[in-house]
Structure 1
Amino acid sequence: MNTSQHALNLEKNVTSGLTPQQIVEQLDRHVVGQKEAKRSVAIALRNRWRRLQLADDLRHEVSPKHIIMIGPTGCGKTAIARRLARLTDAPFLKVEATKFTEVGYMGRDVEQIGRDLLEIAIEQTKEKMRADVEATAQKNASHRLLDVLVGKDASQETRQSFLDKLAHGEIDTKEVDIQVADHGTSGMPTFDIPGVPGAQMGMINISDVLGKTLGGGRTKTLRTTVKEAKSLFFQEESEKLLDQEKAVREAIRLTEENGIVFIDEIDKICGRSNRAGGDVSREGVQRDLLPLLEGTTINTKHGTLQTDHILFITSGAFHVAKPSDLLPELQGRLPTRVELKPLTQEDFVRVLVEPEASLTRQYTELLKTEGVDLVFAEDGIEEIASCAAEVNASIENIGARRLQTILERLLESISFDAPTCAGTQVLIDAAYVQDKVGSLVKSTDLSRFIL
């Protein structure tokens, strides 16, 4: 495949073929406010598509403009990342900076980010390739299941009869014993091999060695329903039909050209110059991130992975540390800086009603399963938002997350009694909110521990 054809194939896999306006519209359906952050993310995604339209020589020179989002907790940083993951077809990985340690210390080093991203890309690629072999895999899975149900020596009429029952789901709940491949690690731990990044070693299972030597693999017996057995057989047959090497090659290309990594809590690895002691590996993690953002080669069990064109989006609240506390070299590799604004009482009202999966809708639908009709009055929503803003101002500003705390407290008795209240309607108005949480909001000591 030549480079231009490869770019064309990648273009088909990039949802950022959407215009920036369309991307912002999609994010607006789920995240309230923060237009500047949405615009920056939308431009970065669109630039992925633009780069693929360039001539080969220039395409390799264009590097992604990494983003740092700065804003208080609960203002929408993580929500934007979560929606971005669902919006894009590209490999997407969200990690917390605090999960990593400097190379040489016990823990995960930052190169694991690239390996994890590649694994996601491989699974995405296989999922798309399975569509081409689905019909054959379904047929093979059905025949394997028939062998379990009626035996290999059954007459053609008997097999056809059971095949019809399988197709119509008549025996889905019947339990059967099946043999499936055992991909487990038998609970034995694995360890990173020093000096060989991406390689692991563990205890050797002698049955694995003998099985591979004799041309077979380990299997295990499962007792399950016919429906589940058919699904397991389909997965195994699909894997047999897939070109594994091709899937890995395509996944590596997809990761290198269109991979996106969201690193949250970047402020937690800032080492302030006026603080002594502390976590000695914080600055080391920042140093380890530098080549990853600039472009480096990561060794994985599937081959080498180049990070030159992977887009990194970082975020942090920076309550204690400041963005300037990051290493100057790291700041330079995050050229797009976006500040997210704290949410106001008016924003809280919008958070409660505007998103497609708003909190009020979630609680309404949850209680509807018990036959309880939960209705939020307009003044009730205003009062909930007012309580959240007041508690945030008096104790600690945790943004929109305060709404969940207040709603849980507000609906505690309703949720508990719901199974015995089927067919009833509950109105959440301003008076109800004041009765349930008003006194807690006014008492700083109580709200500090309860809300």
Structure 2
Amino acid sequence: MSQHIDDYEDFREVDTAGEKDTAADTTDPSTTADSSAAGAGDDADHQEDGYEHFCFLCRRPESQAGKMIELPNDIHICTDCMQKSFNTMNSQINNSNMNYGDLLNMPGVSMIDLGNLNMGPQPKKIRKKKAAQEAKPVLDLKKIPAPHKIKATLDEYVIGQEKAKKVMSVAVYNHYKRVASDMKDDVEIEKSNMLMIGPTGCGKTYLVKTLARLLDVPLAIADATSLTEAGYIGDDIESVVSKLLAAADNDVERAEHGIIFIDEIDKIAKKKNANQRDVSGEAVQQGLLKLLEGSQVEVPVGANSKNAMVPMVTVDTRNILFICGGAFPDLDEIIKERLNKQASIGFYADLKDKYDRDPHILSKVTVEDIRNFGMIPEFIGRLPVIFTLDGLNEDMLVEILQEPKNAILKQYKKLLAMDEVRLEFEDGALHSIAARAMERNTGARGLRAILEEYMLDIMYEIPKDDSIGQVIITKEYIDGNGGPRILLRGQEVPLLA
């Protein structure tokens, strides 16, 4: 075997010497100097690129596999894969008693052109981590808004839910203080992951989106209904971290200080039927424990599932804030059952229907109620901040229509203002819209659907006539007993309450 290797080395030395002689005879010195300068420039550009290279074979980044060997057509191979390739070639030639020189001198056989190889899609780019001596704190404690400022901003976009906004403001502020402190002393601050409970359409997702926009941190919104245990059809649990990495433009350092919102968390409660395998219930809760607690997770880049053609990076979830939300249907029945047991004993026993019409029944939830719903104790323990959101009433829906910064009515008014038409709504019309949304029992989501229904004809007809100056949506139009008031230009009047 050593004889084969020696023959190959002798062949390469002779071949290389011949190439050098040929190059020396045909190459202009000035051209050589220019080429060297260009090559040095390319290397400088590569150093300033700020992105990691991936191994063409194993798809590991430079930070994990070490220094890469550069080949034509921007192909990079790690030393481990290169060594394995040589070992495989040696073993194959040793078994077949073939010589390297004989292989290269065979007629019709030439060196493989790596530039023509195509092994699937190019991997996503990953930014290099800065050196330790150059590392700067990602978060500046002075730039983190105080809780009262966070709540004031949330007030501009979210109507009601005063307690929920207050709890979120304090929890987020404490979390990023924990990240900024970076364990400067022996006191380690625990994570303040949150669990929000509230009926559909009450603003859970909207609160998180507004919060992420205020703090200017990457946000990933995942749906727990698609998560399954490893090995089953569906998204892997690590896919929620992969979505956050994508939201951070594949910047691992920035993603490690982001927010992950897992919606529909109540859908992974333990199944009541113990005879069938629970691949999307308790098993998912068990898998999420390590993410919530904080661990090093290998996640695919640019994909939800792991496969051989997708590069992997390591993300530390220790400083990622997890917010879980869900409607938890029938949780109110569990709360009522517990309260009725406590209140139906003794001379001062309450009536059993006392809590049937309590609109704030969810605010009386306890950890025991959530456990009875189907969430395992270990999972609940990693969500220390638990709060509830109230259901919306008619007055709150009217405020949602017109008060927030990007209220639905303001959006429609802006659309018609582009056609130089004023749009106004009577108070009676707003209450009729809110009453219809209450009947649908879909919260604030029903408002947009109702408005789309009534604004369709108006948005279609108005651009036809340039003489129209104002449109007033009346209560009769919403109730189906009349139509909107349309005024020509010069006849516009301010809307009276």
TM-score by length of 1: 0.61
Residues 410 and 436 of structure 1 are in contact (CA less than 8 Å); yes or no, is this contact kept in structure 2? no
If asked which structure has higher relative contact order (CA below 8 Å, sep 6+), I would say: 1
1:342 matched to which residue of 2? 391
Residue pair 1:15, 1:87 contacting (<8 A) in 2 also: no
Q: Tell me how far 1:274 sits from its aligned partner.
A: 5.4
Any idea what SS the aligned residue of 1:11 has?
Answer: coil
User: Does the aligned pair in 1 maintain the 2:160–2:396 contact within 8 Å?
Assistant: yes
State the 1:341 CA deviation: 0.3
2:62 aligns with none
Change in Cα spacing, 1:422 to 1:265, as seen in structure 2 (3 Å) is farther
- 1:51–1:59 contact (8 Å) kept in structure 2: no
Aligned: 1:305 with 2:350: no
**Take 2:277 and 2:444, find their aligned partners in 1: how far apart are those partners?**
31
1:107 aligns with one of 209, 220, 234: 234
1:268 aligns with 2:267: yes
Matched with 1:45 is: 172
Q: 1:49 to 1:85 in 2, by over 3 A?
A: closer
Q: Counterpart in 2 of 1:282?
A: 281
Summarize the alignment of residues 114-153 of structure 1 with structure 2, pairs less than 5 Å apart: 114-122=241-249
Instruction: Write out per-residue CA displacement over residues 148-206 of structure 1, whole angstroms, 9 at most, x where no aligned residue.
Output: xxxxxxxxxxxxxxxxxxxxxxxxxxxxxxxxxxxxxxxxxxxxxxxxxxxxxxxxxxx
Question: Do 2:258 and 2:320's aligned partners in 1 also have CA atoms closer than 8 Å?
Answer: yes
* Corresponding residue number in structure 1 for 2:456: 412
Aligned twin of 2:290: 291
Distance 1:110 1:435 in 2: 49
Q: Which has the larger radius of gyration?
A: 2
Helix, strand or coil at the partner of 1:37: helix
Could you tell me whether the CA contact under 8 Å between 2:174 and 2:192 is conserved in 1? no
Structure 1 match to 2:370: 323
What is residue 383 of structure 1 aligned with on the other side?
432
In structure 2, how many angstroms separate the alpha carbons of the residues matched to 1:402 and 1:357? 16
* Equivalent-residue separation in structure 1 for 2:378 and 2:427 (angstroms): 50
| Alignment partner of 1:430 is 2:481 | no
Structure with the higher fraction of residues in helix conformation: 1
Are 1:91 and 1:259, in contact at CA under 8 Å, matched by a contact in 2? yes
Cα distance per residue 1:88-122 (max 9 Å; x no partner) = 22222111111221111122211122233223334
Instruction: Tell me if 1:356 matches 2:366.
Output: no
Change (3 A) 1:275 1:355: farther
Where structure 1 has 5 or more consecutive residues not aligned to the other structure, the ranges are: 124-250, 439-451
Bigger drift between 294-303 and 269-278 goes to 269-278
* 1:378-425 C-alpha deviation (Å, 9 max, x unpaired): 232233223323x14xxxx21111212221222232123233234422
Give the aligned CA root-mean-square deviation in angstroms.
2.9
2:179 & 2:277 partners in 1: Cα distance?
44
- Equivalent residue for 1:23? 150
The 3-state SS of whatever aligns with 1:288 is helix
Measure the CA separation in 2 of the matches of 1:366 and 1:373. Answer: 10
CA contact (8 A) 1:261 1:310 kept: yes
Tell me the residue number matched to 1:254: 254
Q: Percent identity?
A: 37
Letter in 1 for 2:139: E
Question: Residue 318 of structure 1: CA displacement?
Answer: 0.8
Q: Secondary structure at the match of 1:412?
A: helix
CA deviation vs aligned residue, 1:213-272 (integer Å, no higher than 9, x gap): xxxxxxxxxxxxxxxxxxxxxxxxxxxxxxxxxxxxxx433333x221111110112234
